[in-house]
A and B are shown apart, each in its own frame.
Chain A
Amino acid sequence: MAYDYDKWIRPGKLPHIWCPGCGHGIVMKGLIRAFDTLQLKKEETAIVSGIGCASRLPGYIDCCTLHTTHGRAAAFATGLKMARPEMKVILCGGDGDGTAIGGNHFIHACRRNIDMTYIIMNNYIYGMTGGQFSPATPTGHKASTTPYGNPDPNFDIAKLAIGAGATFVARGTAFHAAQLDKLIVEAIQHKGFSVVEILDDCPTTYGRRNKFKSVIEMMNRLKEISVPVKAAEKMTPEQLQGKVLTGVLYKEEKPEYCEQYAKVIERAQVGK
């Protein structure tokens, strides 16, 4: 299928700020393909982001876009969605933005099951500020603030979302670009809070500190560690050591927040 990228890229806004080899651009293309597939209306679609390299994505896409404060995208978006329940609201941002400073807003957006889709680009690091460790940086890895190796355990972002109550949770990688489109399309179509964790790469601040010789090597690693959920069912725990599952990890139907609030209004207006 041919996708109309030009329709969705804001005129005059390229080139983007991302480094050569940065995975965020791959995610943006996947998002555009999903928008195009779903034939979303630009005026009825909002992308809300926090702060970070990943969070610069909305500036390039031609729709209603809101670049907020670090970690707060989910909370800004919650207000917008409540004021405009008919809009498609997409959140995007990085691992640091979403799980450190924004962790609280993230889990509560999951819990409310408000109908929005959160694209979280996990490059295992704070890219924009020069490579400090994030809650997703693997233990033992190097960051500018873990020169002796990271002592912290890391979050499994998808599991965190499931635990917090998100009703659609998927994981993809920047290597598996074709699969990404499908996951994002399904996430947007899902009614409720959907999360797509996308493993990508930051060659500039993470790759070079952790002995990746090239972007290709980083991409190959994404390929090597990922196992589709279906395939994992047939694998032993030993075989799954060091692997991450990809695909749709969780899906459930639950009452959606804006619809629940519409019922509050109905109850308040009884006998009025």
Chain B
Amino acid sequence: MAKKVAFIQGNEAAAHGAIYAGCNFFAGYPITPSTEVAEVMSLELPKTGGKFIQMEDEIGAMAALIGASLGGAKVLTSTSGPGLSLKQENIGYACIAEVPCVIVNVMRGGPSTGMPTGPSQSDIMCAKWGTHGDHPAICLVPASVQELFEETVRAFSLAEKYRTPVMIMPDEIVAHMRERVVFPEPGEIEVINRTAPSVPPEQYKPYDTSFGDVPPLAAFGSGYKFHVTGLNKMQDGFPTTKAAIVQAEEERQVRKVEANKADIMKWEEYLIDDAEIVIVAYGSTSRSARYAVNAAREQGIKAGLFRPITFWPFPEERLLEISRKTKAFITPEMSLGQCNGVVKGCIEGNAPVYGIYHVDGEPVSPDEILNKMKEVK
């Protein structure tokens, strides 16, 4: 049978990816340029028996998401800029209480209302440090509509596997452009669900580390009863201030992601092997970068592209390795250097890292990247 093919928008692809992954609950609050995700979910979810709710604000949406996830649902919300700021309070709650959830954040110009319809890549640090305290962060940054579909499916698997929030952050260009998408057959992309408890209810503890760094999560209403709090907790879920337990639990929460980086990280290398100039770009900017790399090669410049698909955890080790034989890095981005700073932070000064920054609502053009390559060559 021929595969289903459609010409759809990025945001629609994210919604369909979520449904493919088995999402059965969505809570959100409308905001440009992410609203189409909510609209498609409101249309499609009830067809599958799933539920959609438009909450009173993004704080409430994030809260409802966590409540539903604890009830056993696979949950999605979508937002942008100001909405992401509001969600941060309860994103932190999901981190410490270890509740799987997926957040689509379409990056638009900021801070504050900024440029609601303009593309941006300036939420990348907010994805890591937006909520207070030490906590794990997983953030995926697809560059095409097909990839947005597939990465949304992966976002669910990562959230469920590691019991933690996962952000998927297309820039506005990826979210709003229309491309051909080939829908995978059911089963074609692996879908991982949270591990259910293997012990009877009397023995169950929601943070039982004898099962490893990611303890099984029971659902409320499934015969298990337990306590969940945003306070530092013990294995049985009840609050504690005992120094040794708090330290160990905080470290474990972060280690869930750090120790499993190899499983979570994903990136693409294009013409890197002999590259003297390496462009580090993601999302729609990586498309300009690829074009520029091809043009540079035609002109005899040994250029390559390093494209993170997982932004957090960042593929630091690999970039450090590449930096040992690279003359210069360039980070084109729709931000004033957030990605640039991350690259500088992992290459131990092995090469200069030049930036091309747009926060004017315009994408970085291939010409700008090519010119920069010529300038620094």
Asked if chains A and B come from one complex, the reply is: yes
B112-138 interface mask toward A, CB cutoff 8 Å, 1 = contact, 0 = none? 000000000000000000000000000
Which residues of B have CB within 8 Å of A26? none
Asked if A69 contacts B93 (CB within 8 A), the reply is: yes
Give the shortest distance, in Å, between B205 (CB) and chain A (any CB): 14
User: Most B CB atoms within 10 A — which of A42, A79, A264?
Assistant: A79
CB distance from B134 to the nearest CB of A (A): 18
Which of chain B's residues has its CB closest to A78's CB?
Answer: B64
Residues from chain B with Cβ under 8 Å of A272 in the complex: 47
Residue in A74, A75, A84, A268 whose beta carbon sits within 8 Å of that of B221 in the complex: A84
Residues of B within 8 A of A66 (CB): 67, 70, 220, 227-229
For B224, what are the chain A residues with a Cβ–Cβ distance below 8 Å?
A: 43, 64
| Cβ-based interface call for B49 (8 A) | yes
**Segment with Cβ contacts to B, from A55-63, A130-138, A155-163, A222-230:** A55-63
Choose from A64, A79, A86 the contact partner of B226 (Cβ within 8 Å). A64
B228 to chain A, nearest CB (A): 5
Contact of A48 with B by CB under 8 A = yes
Pair A43/B221 contact, Cβ less than 8 Å: yes
CA distance A132 to B155 in the complex (A): 42
Does A69 contact B67, Cβ atoms closer than 8 Å? no
User: Is A108 a contact partner of B55 (Cβ separation < 8 A)?
Assistant: yes
- B-chain residues with CB within 8 Å of residue A44 when the two chains form the complex: 221
**In the complex, residue of chain B having the shortest beta-carbon distance to the beta carbon of A264:** B46
Question: Is B71 an interface position by the 8 A CB rule?
Answer: yes
Residues of A close to B59: CB separation below 8 A:
72, 75, 105
Interface centre among A13, A58, A82 (most CB of B within 10 A): A82
B56 on the interface (CB 8 Å rule)?
A: yes
* Best-buried of A44, A81, A87, A265 by chain B (most CB within 10 Å): A265
Does A65 interact with chain B (Cβ within 8 Å)?
Answer: yes
List B contacts of A78 (CB < 8 A): 53, 55, 60, 63-64, 67
**Inter-chain contacts of A64 with B (CB < 8 A):** 220-221, 224-226
Tell whether, in the assembled complex, residue B63 and residue A79 are in contact, meaning their CB atoms are under 8 Å apart. yes
Q: A79 touching B220 by the CB < 8 A rule?
A: no
Chain B residues lying within 8 Å of A268, measured Cβ to Cβ, are 43, 46-47
Contact B46 A83 (CB under 8 A): no
Q: Does A202 contact B (CB under 8 A)?
A: no
Please state if B66 and A79 are interface contacts (CB–CB under 8 Å).
yes
Residue of B nearest to A44 (CB): B221
Q: Give the chain A neighbours of B71 by CB distance below 8 A.
A: 79-80, 82-84, 87
Whether a CB of chain A sits under 8 angstroms from the CB of B13 is no
Q: Is the CB of A83 within 8 A of B72?
A: yes
Tell me the count of chain A residues lying within 8 A, CB to CB, of chain B: 41
Q: Do residues B25 and A83 form an inter-chain contact, with CB atoms below 8 A? A: yes
Known: A75-B64, A268-B46. A83 touches B51 (CB 8 A): yes
B37 interface hit (Cβ, 8 Å):
no
B51–A82 CB distance below 8 A? yes
Nearest-CB distance from B242 to chain A (Å)? 15
Contacts of B93 on A, CB cut-off 8 Å? 68-69
Q: Name the residue in A42, A44, A268 with the highest tally of chain B Cβ atoms < 10 Å from its Cβ.
A: A268
| Bound form: Cα–Cα A76–B93 in Å | 11
Query: B167 to nearest A CB, angstroms?
Result: 19
Interface positions, chain A 8-36, Cβ under 8 Å from B, are 13
A60-114 CB contacts (< 8 Å) to partner B: 62-69, 72, 74-84, 86-87, 104-105, 107-108
Given A75-B59, A76-B66, A79-B66, decide whether A269 and B47 contact each other with a Cβ distance below 8 A. Answer: yes
Known: A68-B93, A264-B46, A265-B49. A75 touches B220 (CB 8 A): no
B67 touches A80 (CB 8 A): yes
Tell me whether B73 is interfacial, beta carbon within 8 Å: yes
A180 at the interface (CB under 8 A from B): no
Cβ–Cβ contact B239 & A59, under 8 A: yes
| Shortest Cβ distance from residue A114 to the other chain B in the assembled complex, whole angstroms | 10
A79 touches B56 (CB 8 A): no
In the complex, the answer to whether B60 meets A108 with C-beta atoms within 8 Å is yes
Does A212 sit within 8 A of B, measured CB to CB?
A: no
List chain A residues, Cβ under 8 A from B221: 43-44, 46, 64, 83-84, 86-87
Specify the chain A residue showing the minimal Cβ separation from B238. Answer: A59
Q: Determine if B220 and A87 form an interchain contact, defined as CB atoms under 8 angstroms apart.
A: yes
The answer to whether the Cβ of B187 comes within 8 Å of any Cβ in the partner chain is no
> A200-218 interface mask toward B, CB cutoff 8 Å, 1 = contact, 0 = none?
0000000000000000000
CB contacts (< 8 Å) of A86 on chain B: these are 221
> Is A62's CB under 8 angstroms from B68's CB?
no
20 additional A-B residue pairs with CB within 8 Å, beyond A48-B67, A75-B60, A76-B63: A43-B201, A46-B221, A59-B227, A59-B229, A59-B239, A67-B229, A69-B90, A75-B55, A75-B56, A76-B66, A78-B53, A79-B73, A80-B67, A82-B53, A82-B64, A84-B219, A87-B71, A87-B220, A108-B60, A269-B47
Which A residues fall within an 8 A CB radius of B? 13, 42-44, 46, 48, 58-59, 62-69, 72, 74-84, 86-87, 104-105, 107-108, 261, 264-265, 267-269, 272
Chosen A-B contacts, 16 in total, with CB atoms closer than 8 Å, are A13-B238, A43-B201, A46-B220, A59-B239, A69-B230, A75-B55, A79-B27, A79-B69, A79-B75, A80-B71, A82-B71, A83-B71, A83-B72, A84-B72, A104-B57, A108-B55
